[in-house]
Chain A
């Protein structure tokens, strides 16, 4: 039973990364109509910024400030990308957005591979979150519990921001009809840039969270992003809440598979995707495309 709980916990942690990443993809897709292929690379950048902040002799900034600084740094980087490149794709077939961001992902990952090699770099768990708790039925490492709770809070906060606030209302309106929203005197291009920054920031935050669990590697996002795409196809990206729930649920299912039938743990998400597509092509929460 211990092993089952442990795998469930791993599943929940992976699920929080899936949720944070697919949430960012959903936000970006909503406003820019672009599937951000560079999302995995930006997630990796988040982890590397945290690593760099800690290991630079002059900075040696630890985990807690990195949790805020890294998403901001990567978010600003994302906004620069949006202003200099993605912006020019407005009105083109959205396949070009996929191709451009794919190219960006190759560049970012290639540069990091050149400087850091392909092997993993360690990032220590912050002192306050070291150790574990005995829950009676299982032993819970504190940091892992923290990741699950914190990402759940961030996901719900993002959901609240978009679904329940004035800013979110503008954002949703601009997604539906940018010209009209512009006529109301709202700076839509700036909003698009900020939205991209927000989505990218969420990816970078996931990167910082994952740094102490998974090693910091240039390709840490490359394989993850394909699983996240499968998550997006299963969930359908129709709603913000949909991506959050699908993300966590698929993480848990993956964890359960690892316990009951480990050979299939790499493929279960893709198999689920096939099954969902056969039954409901629009995805679980999706609208018709």
Chain B
């Protein structure tokens, strides 16, 4: 069995330096968006999905666990934030907290259940659990079924920052994304991250070295679910609604696609992948169902010929870690 990713390059000071340079460029480019003609709503949306894909990548790229139900964290946190903001009229910071807290609880429960099986069984269990939640949200009164929660007030963050101004909201979302991204970067470069990689490479060996791999996998699952939930809470402020599309399993598939296109197990891959897929959906929207066909074709092409993804191929070509 070959490894999922191709990062044979050791973590060196040079690699860290390369990654930080790229990070600074990314942060500067994103910060400049409101000064260009690019539609900020599109970038904000892409940033939320990029964070979701990065959180997902933490699990598959570094832990070797393919979750096919990550939409459940996005959707759950979204619904909880939306409910807290609209019905309980909480301020934005507490609304986000409510969504993230819900994602933590959900990821503890679902993680405990799903890491009992490995490989494709793990994927199928996460998929089934997210479908279970989909049906619950379809019937639960607080989600308003097919209508979703609409017209969510954006409010003032910490009582001062007015989120209804689109540029202000953009920078808040950007800061949220960058903070989440750096946290993930920190996690994968920590001793915990190294153990996670060793589990991905060879779980039996990690066990024989004395690591309780189940605990590491569960913690990775919780961290990933929490960050995915954070992305869901941010997305509520951007879209001003929470709906069933965010919990449907096709959303989980899109997250997988984003990460696969960008590069599984690369640090910047999920970000690039999210932007590619969201841009594609934006510009191909008029082709209706052909978008699904194109997405499917990208899946097939990536798996057959292009397994490293965009960033993975570039990193491999440059012999750098990205």
Contacts and interface: CB of A to CB of B under 8 A. Distances in A.
Interface residues of B, number: 47
A186 interface: no
Interface stretch (A44-52, A171-179, A250-258, A262-270): A262-270
Contact of B299 (A103, A108, A227, A266): A103
B123 interface: yes
A121 interface: no
Contact of B303 (A91, A100, A281): A100
B256 interface: yes
A111 interface: yes
Contact of B300 (A35, A94, A100): A100
A102 B292 contact: no
A125 interface: no
A35 B126 CA distance: 15
A194 interface: no
A270 B299 CA distance: 27
Contact of B293 (A88, A110, A232): A110
Nearest to A29: B120
Contacts of A105: 296
B41 interface: no
Dominant secondary structure at the A interface:
helix
Interface stretch (B92-100, B127-135, B167-175, B185-193): B127-135
Interface stretch (A13-21, A53-61, A153-161, A272-280): A272-280
B292 A233 contact: no
Interface stretch (B1-9, B20-28, B313-321): B1-9
Interface in A93-120: 93-100, 102-111, 113-114
Interface in A183-237: 223, 226-227, 229-230, 232-233
A146 to B, nearest CB: 30
A124 interface: no
Contact of A107 (B2, B116, B300): B300
A85 interface: yes
- Among B3, B68, B118, B132, chain A packs the most CB atoms within 10 A around the CB of B132
A116 B120 CA distance: 32
B121 interface: yes
B299 A109 contact: no
A67 to B, nearest CB: 29
Given A110-B290, A273-B128, A281-B117, A99 B260 contact: yes
B43 interface: no
A92 interface: yes
B288 A232 contact: no
Contacts of B303: 89, 96, 99-100, 103
A68 interface: no
Given A226-B127, A274-B129, A281-B117, A104 B300 contact: yes
Interface string B216-258: 0000000000000000000000000000000001000100100
Nearest to A88: B304
Given A232-B124, A267-B136, A277-B125, A93 B295 contact: no
B121 A233 contact: yes
A90 B103 CA distance: 37
Interface in B100-145: 113-114, 116-121, 123-125, 127-129, 131-132, 135-136, 138-139
Interface of A: 35, 85, 88-89, 91-100, 102-111, 113-114, 223, 226-227, 229-230, 232-233, 263, 266-267, 270-271, 273-274, 277-278, 281-282, 289
Given A88-B304, A229-B127, 15 more contacts: A85-B304, A92-B1, A93-B1, A98-B66, A99-B302, A102-B256, A103-B300, A103-B303, A104-B299, A104-B300, A110-B291, A114-B290, A229-B128, A270-B129, A277-B117
23 contacts: A85-B304, A91-B1, A91-B2, A92-B1, A94-B120, A97-B120, A99-B299, A100-B303, A102-B299, A103-B302, A106-B293, A106-B299, A107-B293, A107-B300, A110-B290, A233-B117, A267-B135, A267-B136, A270-B128, A270-B131, A271-B132, A277-B114, A289-B121
